[in-house]
Structure 1
Amino acid sequence: MGEARSSRIDCLDGLRALAAIWVLIGHSLLLTGWRIPILVEPDLGVDLFIMLSGFLMAFHYYLRQDQEPWQQPETWLKFWIRRYFRIAPLFYVMLFVALALGPYLYGSRMVIDEFLLRSPQAAERYLDSSMKNIGAHLVFLFGLVPSFAYRTPLPDWSLGLEMQFYAAFPVIMLLVRRIDWVWSAILIGTIGSAIVFAMKLLSIHFPMPSFLALKMQIFLCGMLLAGVVHRRHPRPFLYLSLAMLLAALPFGGPYGLGKVLIREALVLGFFALVLYRMLPGIAGLVASKIAMTLANKFFHLMGELSFSIYLIHLLVLQPVAAFVITEFGHDLSAPLRFTIVVAVVLPTVCMLSWITYTFIEIPGQKMGRFVVQRFGPRPAAEGKSKRLTT
């Protein structure tokens, strides 16, 4: 299988870009009072990010398993270091920027909510600069505590969720090695569902699905498809069917028939783009063309910027939307208001994202690789050479 031998599936860059733009457009629609079906649901864009994360972690696990055996705790440490330095540097910078801008952003959001006749946002989400809140975010434990899970101006609840997934990932993959993909996914999905049910009985409510059990089923969807890529004798449609069942579990965010159908479409589309060689006839041809388009230079760049776009966009979007509302109010129709806001926000966010990617994300990733190398075993030849020269 061509993808199994490759260290990169290029259409994933395009999917990351689409997920980031979906979240930005969805929030722009919500904050300007216009509705476009599907696009107005930014949480579905986050689900696509989560599915991509599950796929990529499992995909790279297979690529590195010969050099970094997952039975060794040293491999787990390397994995956690890589993921920490992928997320933490930019997040820490944006966290302090967001907290510094908190009062200004809160004022902007009050203008928007009052204009759209919505319940105002909780003030503590924008104004809580306490050491407890900052500390919970610095150690990425905020997603485990309902009172801290949604307490900054950033859409960072998903980062706490992501870090929980990284913490659990080595154990999940050891389970997969022992009892295979299908039974592992069923077991983990069952455990997650039981935990969610217990939370309901105990009246534990998270303002956003920042607790891993609430979204583990979406991570599993991506992981199952990565399992298909790397198996010598795959059962692709069994894995796809199980992924679709997991995506239909009725928790982890707003649910209704429309949401379920869109999540099912996300799983199907992901499967088609990553595994298009398995599709027959015209379906495989169309999927391959779309996958190749998502692999072009533009989508590659936007995929690289996707994390920055995701973290930065609300810091720009809310003040711009509030300004347009203050200046023009009801003189503009909702579609025109949305168009003006996006025309300002999208290029501004992309420019800022390029800056943060270049000067924060890339150096952070290099630092992560440097730290990982410090934990790596010294090559035998190098060790021998050093012994001869001492």
Structure 2
Amino acid sequence: MEYRRDIDGLRAVSVIPVILFHAGLQPFSGGFVGVDVFFVISGYLITLVIINEIEEGNFSFSRFYERRARRLLPALFFVLLCCTPLAWIWMLPNQFKEYSQALVAISFFVSNVLFWRMDGYFAPDSETNPLLHTWSLSVEEQFYIFFPVLLLLAWRHGKVTAFYIVIILTLVSFLLSEWGWRISPSATFYLLPTRAWELGAGSICAFIIYNRKPRQEGLLSLLGVILILYSVFFYDNDTPFPSAYTLVPVTGAVLVVLFGSKKGIANWFLSSKYMVGVGLISYSAYLWHQPLMAFARIRSESYPDSSLMLILALTSLGLAYFTWKYVEQPFRKRRQGNGGLTKKQIFGLSLAGTLFFVSLGLHGKFTDGMRYLWESKYPIASLTYEIAEREMSEANNGPRLKRCQFSLLEINVNDLSRLDECQLLHGPGILVIGDSHGIDLFNGLVLNEFSDFILGFVRGGCSPYTNRDICQDQYQTIKKLVNVKGQLFDRVIYTQAGFYLMEKVDDNDELEGRNMISHVSLTDPILISDFKIREDYISETIAFLEQLAAEKEGVDIVWVGPRIEPHIPLKRVVRSGCNSEFRMRPGQQELYEEISNLISRQAKDSLVEYVDQIELVNFSIAKDFINCDSWFWRDGDHWSLTGAKEFTRRMYRQLEG
């Protein structure tokens, strides 16, 4: 198989945006598409090798998986070996427990399944997950468990038949991804059935190139690079992935693979020694970058600045070169004289490494993140950690609910029957809507026995103005429910997080959402002048709530304003201890008060009743944050059940109407 420098250059185009995206550098908001380009390259190269060997009559499964082991495992095991001691030193027990679970999962190449079950790729906690990036390795290896077998079986019916089967399966996987992101975006992102089409696109390229000499078209290759770079700079976290949008970077990679030319701008760019050099070390660079950046965020109480993240990005390239030269290269060599390792040795070392990390991971999982060692190291912090762990666990489980106290994300016929039944039993109920702060309010109403009939219809990150299909669908469903079944409720209560109603004035500031507050050092001031309060979002929300009021007379529509959000990192809480005196950032409370005042003014002459949560709760960081019996929060801005019960109690009379 002829070596192509431009393919190694394409690897560099893949890995550099991924690294810079994980570094949080704003221009590279779509850098995650580099993984999709990786998939195309992998599908192309591996399929081309398999086709060559099948045609020559010497394909061997043992040799195929030996190559995969030589390619992937030495560098992976080396990075895991280096990272695990640092993870134990710097992580809290609950974090190290999750890290340990990931060790087991990646050892069996199922970490994509684990992370699907845990959280989304773009969730805030993902930034502090050192092994999150291994999901793509798992997808690849799962593909290569099934693909060679499928290809061999199809080949029995002829090369053309095999080609068409690959095309059909690739198309099915693509259609599944386009359907799946609307139904279950996290599963669609992580799992093989909705990712296989990207590898399949590379496989199709391999069939085409094997059957004819590559057609060199410099302009088409250049167009491919442009398509990839377009998606790197213009996609972001809100772009559905994988979906039809993914066709842009995938098509770009396909154009480079199929039409790569030895002349032209694209070839000059991709085949330059620097791009090829980065491409050669791209696998190790991919392995190193996420742990470095995750550990930096774990260690820092404020968000690491761009200069530090850029240094870490460059450091990952330095470590990648070392790993490529002294780990990857020696293990890739077959035994020739005194160099390299035999197949038997490779499989033996692979098994030993797998067993080692599985054993270590299982020990970490079943000892709660080696908590016994952590408590001996931090005896003073152990009580606070126990309190925080209990409160987080209780909040995750939720309060004990009665038959007519429940939450929904969508409504079907059975749900409507249940709602009718509850209305007959208890009379009109309470409908709680909003984002994840609405879940807290729902819990508080339940715990204070506000009503026996309470429906929560809330979704994290979703407000009436949120421009995401899943959020718009949520609020359209709410409108239909109030319109058709308005007699079910006599009160609709809306609430949301305050940080979604503001943004930084400085367009170059890379922080958004809760990170605008949580990633500021606890000693640094927060200036209202640095923020723009989105009055248009407030207006859109009031307009939506007024539509609900107009849908059904006799239904009170209430907006419970934003709360004071402490945004104090859990590690600071635990390390400081439950007896410590905590403080919020100077100016932090005033910022939330300003948001509440603006909502109050806009709602004054509307059909919406505004409840000023800040005034009623009268939050005191000294009394309402933590004591050595309870933690009133479960993270930087969400209540624990203890907090939900206490803070909702203070608003009880106003919520009752």
TM range (shorter): 0.5 to 0.7
Shift of 1:14: 0.7
Secondary structure at the counterpart of residue 23 of structure 2? helix
What is the aligned partner in structure 2 of residue 57 from structure 1? 46
Tell me which residue corresponds to 1:387: none
What CA distance in whole angstroms lies between the structure 2 residues aligned with 1:276 and 1:215?
24
| Shift in Å, 1:308 | 0.9
Structure 1 unaligned residues grouped into runs of 5+: 1-5, 108-122, 237-243, 245-252, 278-283, 376-390
1:221-240 paired onto structure 2 within 5 Å:
221-232=201-212
Q: Percent identity?
A: 21
- Determine whether 1:267 maps to 2:237: no
Q: Residue 269 of structure 2: which of 273, 282, 293 is its match?
A: 293
Please point out which of 73, 76, 82 is paired with 1:97.
82
Q: Which has the higher strand share?
A: 2
Q: Quickly say closer, same or farther: Cα 1:258–1:309, change in 2 above 3 A.
A: closer
Contact residue 14 and residue 303 of structure 1 kept, 8 A: yes
Task: Describe the shift of the 1:296–1:100 C-alpha distance in structure 2 as closer, same or farther (beyond 3 A).
Answer: same
Give secondary structure in 1 for the equivalent of 2:195: helix
Number of residue-to-residue matches in the alignment: 313
Q: Distance in 1 between matches of 2:237 and 2:204?
A: 24
Q: Following the alignment from structure 2 to structure 1, what is the Cα–Cα distance between the partners of residues 327 and 170? A: 35
Check whether the contact 1:59–1:227 (CA below 8 A) recurs between aligned residues. yes
Deviations 1:22-65 (A, max 9, x none): 11100112xxxx532xx212331111111111111112223333
Tell me the residue number matched to 1:249.
none
1:137 pairs with 2:106: yes
What is the SS of the residue equivalent to 1:140?
coil
Q: Are residues 1:353 and 2:320 paired?
A: yes
Could you tell me the TM-score, scaled by structure 2's length?
0.41
- Cα distance in 2, alignment partners of residues 68 and 124 from structure 1: 52
Q: Which amino acid aligns with 1:294?
A: L
Secondary structure at the residue paired with 2:26?
coil
TM score, norm. by length of structure 1: 0.66
Amino acid at match of 1:186: I
1:1-390 superposed matches below 5 A: 6-29=1-24, 35-36=26-27, 39-70=28-59, 75-103=60-88, 106=91, 124=94, 126-128=96-98, 130=100, 134-145=103-114, 146-147=116-117, 153-154=130-131, 155-174=133-152, 175=154, 177=159, 179-190=161-172, 206=187, 209-232=189-212, 256=239, 263-276=246-259, 288-320=264-296, 326=302, 337-338=305-306, 340-366=307-333, 370-372=341-343
1:312/1:353 contact within 8 Å kept: yes
- C-alpha distance in 2 between matches for 1:136 and 1:321: 23
Flag as ranges the 4+ runs of structure 1 deviating above 3 A: 62-70, 103-107, 123-130, 132-136, 141-152, 191-201, 203-206, 232-236, 253-262, 318-326, 367-375
**Bigger radius of gyration, 1 or 2?**
2
Counterpart AA for 1:162: E
**Deviation (angstroms), 1:68:** 4.8
RMSD over aligned CA atoms reads 4.2
* Structure 2: distance between partners of 1:191 and 1:322: 37
Deviation of the 1:167 alpha carbon: 0.7
Amino acid at match of 1:16: R
Report SS of the residue matched to 1:159. Answer: helix
CA distance in 1 between counterparts of 2:246 and 2:205 reads 15
1:1-25 deviation digits (Å, cap 9, x = unpaired): xxxxx52222110111121111110
- d(CA) in 2 for partners of 1:233, 1:347: 38
Compared CA separation, residues 46 and 300, structure 1 to 2 (3 A): same
